Chains A and B, each alone.
Chain A
Amino acid sequence: MNPHLLTILIFIPLVAAMIMFIVPSGKRAAYKYIALITGILQLVLSGGMYCLFHPKGAGISEERLYQFVDHIPWIRLDMGSFGRLEIDYFIGVDGLSMPLLFLSALVMVVAIGASWNVQKSVKGYFILLMILDMAVMGVFSALDFFLFYVFYELMLLPLYFLIGIWGGARREYAAMKFFLYTLFGSVFMLLIMVGLYFSVTNPDTGAHTFNMLHMMNPANYVNGSFFSALANQELFGISARLLGFVVLFIAFAIKVPIVPLHTWLPDAHVEAPTPISIILAGILLKVGGYGILRICFSIFPDAALQSAWWLGLIGVVSIVYGALVALAQRDLKRMIAYSSVSHMGFVLLGIASLTTEGTAGALFQMVSHGFLSAALFFLVGMLYDRVHDRNIYHFRGLATVMPRYTVFIAVAFFASLGLPGFSAFIGEVFVIIGAFNAESINGLLPRWMAIAGSLGILLSAVYFLWTLQRMFFGQVRLKGGNVWSAALTDASPRETVIMVPMLALALVLGIYPALALDKINASVLALVELITK
Chain B
Amino acid sequence: MPLPTLTYPVLAAVSAVLLPFVGFLLQALMGKRSQNGAIALITIALSLLAAGYTFAQVWGNEPIHVQWRWFTIGQQVFYVGLLLDNVSVLMLLLVAFVALPVHAYSVAYMKGDSGIHRYWTYLSLFCSAMLGLVVADNLLLMYVCWELVGFASYLLIGFWFTRDAAAAANKKAFIVNRIGDIGFLIGFAILYSFLGTLDLNTLFGQEGFFATASGAEASGIIAHPKIPAGWLTTAGLAFFLGAMAKSAQFPLHVWLPAAMEGPTSVSSLIHAATMVAAGVFLLARIFPLFDDTALLVIATTGAVTAFVAAYFALTQYDIKKILAYSTISQLGFMMVGIGIGMYQLALFYLVTHAFFKCLLFLGAGAIIHELQHLNDKHQLGIDPQDIRHMGGLRKYMPITFVTMLIASLALAGFPLTAGYLSKDALLIHAFEWAALQNDASVAIPYVLAVASILTSFYILRLLAKVFLGSPAIGVMTSARPHEASAWMLVPMLVLAACSLFPLFTTSPLNYGQAWLLQKILPMAALPPLPLLHVLVPLLTTMATVAMTLLVWQWYVKQKYPLKAGGLFFRLSQQQGYVDVFYDRIVAAAVLRCSNVLFWVDKHIIDGAVNGLAALGRILAAIAGWVDQRLVDGFVRLVGKLAWGLGNVLRRSQTGRLQDYMASVFFIILVILLYHLIVQA
Chain A residues close to B by CB (< 8 Å): 177, 180-181, 259-260, 262-264, 321, 324-325, 327-329, 355-357, 360-361, 397, 399-400, 414, 419-421, 425, 429-430, 432-433, 436-437, 439-440, 450-451, 454-455, 457-458, 461-462, 465-466, 468-469, 472-475, 512-514, 517-518, 521, 524-525, 528
Contacts and interface: CB of A to CB of B under 8 A. Distances in A.
Contact of A461 (B175, B193, B595): B175
A433 B189 contact: yes
B578 interface: no
B619 interface: no
Contacts of B72: 514, 517-518, 521
Most B CB contacts (10 A, CB to CB) among A321, A328, A361 go to: A328
Contacts of B606: 263
Contacts of B76: 356-357
A461 B606 CA distance: 26
A400 to B, nearest CB: 7
Interchain residue pairs A-B with the least CB separation, the first 4: A356-B74, A473-B167, A328-B598, A514-B71
Given A437-B192, A513-B71, A429 B162 contact: no
Given A327-B591, A458-B182, A468-B171, A521 B73 contact: yes
Given A400-B162, A420-B147, A465 B174 contact: yes
B590 interface: yes
B597 interface: yes
Contacts of B593: 324
Contacts of B171: 465-466, 468-469
Given A324-B594, A325-B598, A361 B185 contact: no
B179 A458 contact: yes
A474 B165 CA distance: 9
B190 A399 contact: no
A329 B599 CA distance: 11
B179 to A, nearest CB: 6
B164 A474 contact: yes
Contact of B594 (A328, A361, A454, A473): A328
A475 B163 CA distance: 7
A356 B590 CA distance: 34
Interface in B580-630: 590-591, 593-595, 597-598, 601, 605-606, 609, 613
Contacts of A462: 175, 590
Given A436-B189, A457-B182, A414 B158 contact: no
A325 B594 contact: yes
B185 A360 contact: no
Given A436-B189, A437-B193, A451-B186, A430 B73 contact: yes
Contacts of A324: 590, 593-594, 597-598
B151 interface: yes
Contacts of A360: 73-74
B74 A458 contact: no
A514 B181 CA distance: 24
B182 A454 contact: yes
Contacts of A325: 594, 597-598, 601
B580 to A, nearest CB: 19
A267 B322 CA distance: 50
Contacts of A468: 171
A327 B590 contact: yes
B182 A455 contact: yes
Most A CB contacts (10 A, CB to CB) among B73, B179, B181, B609 go to: B73
Interface in B377-407: none
A457 B185 contact: yes
B577 interface: no
A414 B174 CA distance: 11
A356 B73 contact: yes
A397 B162 contact: yes
Contact of A327 (B71, B178, B594): B594
Contacts, number: 144
B143 interface: yes
B58 interface: no
A432 B597 contact: no
Contacts of B151: 414, 419
A357 B74 contact: yes
Given A324-B593, A430-B73, 19 more contacts: A260-B605, A262-B605, A263-B605, A327-B594, A328-B594, A328-B597, A328-B598, A356-B76, A357-B76, A360-B74, A436-B186, A440-B193, A454-B182, A457-B178, A458-B178, A514-B72, A517-B72, A524-B74, A525-B75
Contacts of B73: 356-357, 360-361, 430, 513, 517, 521
B446 interface: no
12 contacts: A356-B75, A399-B162, A419-B151, A420-B143, A451-B186, A454-B185, A462-B175, A462-B590, A469-B170, A475-B162, A517-B73, A528-B74
B635 interface: no
Interface string B156-173: 001001111011101100
Interface in B117-163: 140, 143-145, 147-148, 151, 158, 161-163
Contacts of B609: 177, 181, 263-264
Contacts of B181: 457
Nearest to A510: B144
B189 A450 contact: yes
Most A CB contacts (10 A, CB to CB) among B75, B162, B593 go to: B162
Nearest to B144: A420
A387 to B, nearest CB: 21
Nearest to B608: A260
A461 B181 CA distance: 11
Given A329-B598, A420-B143, A469 B148 contact: no
B71 A517 contact: yes
B100 to A, nearest CB: 25
A65 B435 CA distance: 68
Contact of A512 (B71, B145, B148, B163): B71
Contacts of B163: 474
A347 to B, nearest CB: 16
B116 to A, nearest CB: 15
A454 to B, nearest CB: 5
B340 to A, nearest CB: 29
B194 interface: yes
A473 B192 contact: no
Contacts of A400: 162
B15 to A, nearest CB: 18
B151 to A, nearest CB: 6
Contacts of B148: 419-421
Contact of A399 (B140, B161, B174, B193): B161
A277 B400 CA distance: 59
Most B CB contacts (10 A, CB to CB) among A260, A400, A528 go to: A260
A462 B582 CA distance: 14
Nearest to A414: B151
A34 to B, nearest CB: 36
A529 to B, nearest CB: 11
Nearest to B146: A420
Contact of A433 (B168, B170, B192, B601): B192
B327 to A, nearest CB: 24
B189 A432 contact: yes
Given A324-B597, A397-B162, A436-B189, A525 B74 contact: yes
A435 to B, nearest CB: 9
Contacts of B166: 473
Contacts of A473: 158, 161-162, 164, 166-167
Contacts of A455: 182
A465 B193 CA distance: 31
A525 B72 CA distance: 12
Interface in B19-45: none
B113 to A, nearest CB: 15
A397 B168 CA distance: 13
A432 B147 contact: no
Contacts of A329: 598
Nearest to A476: B162
A157 to B, nearest CB: 20
Contacts of A454: 182, 185-186
